[in-house]
Structure 1
Amino acid sequence: MNTHNKQLMQDIFAELAKGNGKPFVDSMADDFRWIIPGTSSWSRTWSGKRAVLDELMRPLFARFADTYTNQAHRFIAEGDCVVVECRGKVMTKSGKPYNNSYCYVCRLADGELRELTEYMDTELALAALGPP
């Protein structure tokens, strides 16, 4: 199973590297959860695909001046989890680059993303993007 999950994430990130986020969104289960752990203003849990899109993605992408890309460097799969080390790149409308490094711990089931825990430089997010 983990080879299928790993391949799915590799396919998703091949598209994200080109600026195409549709396969990523399409893979989210309706009960998908996005978690940013920690104590920063960006730390929160969004529960449900609709909440992730409306409360996290839409406001976030509204701050971007050009196409967001995300290049994966490593995939590690075990059981129902795929860990992706990656780097995003985009220019903000305020003229600041937002080039963050991430470690995504993704839990998948039945070919869908069920949960993503995002580890990132929250100080960079705050400096480049402001508070959520």
Structure 2
Amino acid sequence: PAPANGGARPPWCCKVVIQAELLHPEFPTAGKVVGANGANIEHLRSQNGCQVMLRGRGSQHKEADGQELPEPMFLWIAGDSQQNGRACLEMAQDLLTSVYEEHQQWCAHNGVPNKLTSATPVTIENPDVIPGPQ
């Protein structure tokens, strides 16, 4: 399938669903994933040469229409090879594990329940529907 923007499909891509709807609404999920001044995303990009962006509801990433994508928050990773893409994916999963652990500590510190029971993000490799341009 072609991307929604009509461009060429990257050789390898995936969506990593953050499960943000299970995290406490006051926890700064997007900020923790992106990192201070975008440091986490930039690190993923520079280490693997992949395109990486946080998209979807609550991501604060505006699409071409000026709105967030109307789907659960996810990390979009696109690479020029499966090897680079999977290396980036592994790093992204480690990052999300850290964010989930930080969320667990945040919940305990603030005395609020933690609804996230599994610390494993959902990954969809080479999804059928590719989001349009940023």
Shared fold, TM over 0.5? no
Q: Which has the higher helix share?
A: 2
Q: Which has the higher strand share?
A: 1
Q: Determine which structure has greater relative contact order: mean sequence separation of CA pairs < 8 Å that are 6+ residues apart, divided by chain length.
A: 2
TM-score, normalised relative to structure 2: 0.27
Name the larger-Rg structure: 2
TM-score, normalised relative to structure 1: 0.27
